[in-house]
Structure 1
């Protein structure tokens, strides 16, 4: 019984942290990237019309567990947008093409997308469930969403999956973002969750070179569904620290 209570309390604590992060995003921290919820065209009611088809149709509730909104379309026709951690109901013809979803990515100040593009499709038939879930597992591959706070005295920059992969499967992502001192939890997009996934934090202006601190082996801290990974920075990076020193999981 004691173990069950501890697990329940841990779940409640994680939910509270996510809610606080949502509130922080709403307040705006001055960090140099564009929140996808504020991207033009990121929100709006669904167009639930069946595209003029007189044939059989299927009404589906699309549940988006991701921390970014997703756009829905069939045969190139926009069907609406499901907001972050939200849902939308669409009605589609059974004789149409696959129902496609694509995540709306954050962008840095240069206008470049942050993180990996996520999207997939599914064929709509009479047996398609009336409730479909979009999560951080996409076509069998897992992704994680970085939510990072900076409690240090200096601005920082960071890279994800540094040094991993080659060619078309090169997973290194340099955000091109900075996080100002005393910043609350801030969302920075989705990244592939690999066996050797890492997050390196550098002093701002280092251009991803020189001394850095790093997070490793954090897959057990990634929320199953949203993919959210909550992390804190407590000291200016550069001392070669790993998670547990100047870098911790939020709430630890």
Structure 2
């Protein structure tokens, strides 16, 4: 009999402790929260679902695609989420699975508890070269042709997107050529390129020119050695020094890495 009583007491205490722990856990979960967040992205014509990492302590949701390839619907991606309250982005109410948003920059989701009219903000960030602070250059060769040498220009289209400074944007230029450049640097896995437009074109407010260069900086882990050297030359007073603009490069929808765009010295 004593054994039965002891067993009963043991299980009672066990259940009571579990209930207390559950109640404590429930108490620390915000009433106005987002408990699940997913985003459907299209890369290379294929839809992929990316699951957000929700951090309640920092009120952030981080999304990291497994591939850095070009995201075709980044400016109109639709999220699926679970929320205990009403959700707004700006003044637009968000409907899970229906409302599109532009994810090129972090988005603030505001969850509203209609019972007491309090709010909780989440910052949603999509980690991608397209969402970095750097301008993005998109080059697509005709038919997806490869760039195999430093002599023959491959017909392509050129586009420049600078989210931070839209005045720098360049709409698709159809009559563009691209080829390899450099000496030993052409043998590295990350290739440098020369771009040629059919007419003089200004990039980043610089003097208009037909030819431009994309430096790969393959052996420079900092990506700034050339930039610093050219800046020093300019400050010293050299007659001419190239200007540099750091960009993210996509070639045929594939991310190539960070490059430096500069003038071609004729």
Identify the TM-score tier after normalising by the shorter chain.
under 0.3
Q: Name the structure with the higher helix share.
A: 2
Q: What TM-score do the two structures reach when normalised by structure 1? A: 0.26
Q: What TM-score do the two structures reach when normalised by structure 2? A: 0.25
Structure number with greater CO (CA < 8 Å, separation at least 6) is 1
